[in-house]
Structure 1
């Protein structure tokens, strides 16, 4: 049941939310630095190796994002958003850009507090294999229980028209946050009317997965709005110049082995196959104990006393010295 699912979606700590960036902590620690990234040893393949608390990134069996297929069910009700007009803080977290915004979303008989929304390019979730150029995650924590996390995911498609206000409202301020750690104020905040309307008219896909960034904690309820919103080319290009690439690889089917564990087994199988092939070649080439290495038959030529049978000669015969014994009939 929906209500039960929401109650079980509480294992991810609210302190683990993507983009919780404390200015005071940054000043105490020096220049802004990310604790994870999307390339090389800081990328998704090694997130679990960056900190002990990230173990779910490599071991969890309910990891996000996923390919949304027929196995993923639709939510039985629509979330109801209430986001008052307000000034909003806009930040560059290096791994994403984020808008801090306060609001309340009611879903499944519970209230969830909107903390922020951030951006992924390209989309992390795919629908029937199709990805989108951009995905917004609106991150909520439970009002009664902050350990409950609900993420409302919005997909975007390219358009020749004006971008939805949730995007159009931030692009004029991008120039103020080009440096990681930078922040600025958006006077009057963001207009969510387009988001509210899209939620009301679209199917909402629901599943329980994980944070898509370290520590990859599980128990996160995802509500994915199936119908995409619009983003125009100019806004998309401006955003991706700052965000660049920040999409976690698609994870395995829910309740299956972690995709990194599958890859690790594949590597071990490949190593074993290479080792077995090398051992087989060595065994074939090695002489038995006490036996002299066999000379190449081609190099040594026919052994003395061998019988040579010539079935047919083609071309001009060459003078070839042969010594043979022909038995009488």
Structure 2
């Protein structure tokens, strides 16, 4: 007799892994299918998380809820897998004027920002940083070693007989009123966490995805950097002499090929905030599954109660995935409401 799963999860990126974790916490029987492509947006990403973002440097959406939840989530998985992949590292953003320094001195005293600001510096932090007006040092920031995390969690899923490697073929999915079947697999529900795959598949292609290409450059440099430099681009230490610099945003050329144009743009912005010698060792590109309103898309298909989606995390998957995977599971298993800002129902008029 065939095993009937509670949930079939398509895609084991940041979204699929977080969803799998929360479902397993409730002892649900799950199966994750992923083809282990190397150039997925999750694996190419720099993995940064940052509570204060954008050109105007404002507190990111739902920061007060997202960031404490995210840190606890990854630390729990580190204990479970007996490995480390969350690197809590202060982000340092150089100021470009005295006015900006004064503005951040004021912000650091407000209840809204004080928990996220570690220190406001009034002069150069490094001899190679271009920050004569100082800069702001942020809390609740750092980076996730995304590939290491996903590989370790995949090994855990395999131990639990909850993972199959392979490409999901939409045409092989049969949908019924109370379950779905895929080849010889039966499940009560199927959830698509497959990034751009959802755009190409037959059930969610009507959603307003706005894919964005981003590139990251790896360099060798003989400097000591204990912060993440971040203004226009980030510079983050990933190993001895090994740094990553990124990223750019390109919504026109949506392919997986690294470009000279992006290299010049990223390294030019790095030169605006720092001055040191380096050698470029590698360049990689990924396509982020962003959405029209820059909010995740979560919920069940308007016509099929057995088909769901958890997607559209865009550039902030590291911080969004843990919290909203938990909220989705509460919706699925405890009948709790989804936040209107992420609920797929906001797009039902497009179906």
TM-score of the superposition, structure 2-length normalised?
0.20
> Which structure has the bigger radius of gyration?
1
TM-score of the superposition, structure 1-length normalised?
0.21
